[in-house]
Amino acid sequence: MLHPDVRDTMEEIEEMLAAAKLEPPSPSLIHAEYLRDKDLFILKISDGRRLAIPREDIWAVRNATPDQAANFITEAPGSDIWWPELDEGLYIPYALEGRYGSDAWMDHVHRRTTTAA
């Protein structure tokens, strides 16, 4: 018997599950690479996109050495890049929105890149 506060019937639950199956999968990271000579991360996304992100734009590795930047793992199911040595990460859904850190960090990045242009 369901708890009295539970208002979803099995029929409603089945309808929600069926609707969820029709939703396209969220894009996820399928490959990540750090190019030391260019100080650049290349991210290959499941929907075919490629992102090229300068290390200095990613808050998590902004002060990392090349060795530290290169020492990362990708978390299943392709939602994160994690730098264990730095105890920092990059959440891929945010990266797909062009967010590589907090709002304050992104303001800093935008000011730096517009000043340099």
Structural domain includes residue 24: no
Question: Do 19 and 34 meet the contact criterion of CB atoms below 8 Å apart?
Answer: no
Structural domain includes residue 21: no
Structural domain includes residue 97: yes
> Domain containing 89: what range?
29-116
Structural domain includes residue 18: no
CATH number of the domain enclosing 57: 3.30.2020.40
Task: Give 25's pLDDT tier (boundaries 50, 70, 90).
Answer: confident
pTM as predicted: 0.77
Structural domain includes residue 11: no
Q: For residues 97 and 54, give the distance between their C-alpha atoms in angstroms, rounded to a whole number.
A: 15
Is 83 or 113 the better-scoring residue by pLDDT?
Answer: 83
Q: What is the DSSP string of 67-92?
A: HHHH--EEETTTTEEEETTTTEEEEH
Domain count, the chain: 1
Structural domain includes residue 5: no
Structural domain includes residue 12: no
Structural domain includes residue 82: yes
> Residue 112, Cα to own-chain centre: how many angstroms?
22
Model confidence over 75-91: pLDDT tens digits? Answer: 878 899 999 999 999 99
Question: Do 80 and 74 meet the contact criterion of CB atoms below 8 Å apart?
Answer: yes
> What are φ and ψ of residue 101, in 5° steps?
180, -165
Task: Give 94's pLDDT tier (boundaries 50, 70, 90).
Answer: very high
CA dihedral 100, 110, 50, 35 (to 10 degrees): -80
**Averaged pLDDT score across all residues of the chain:** 90
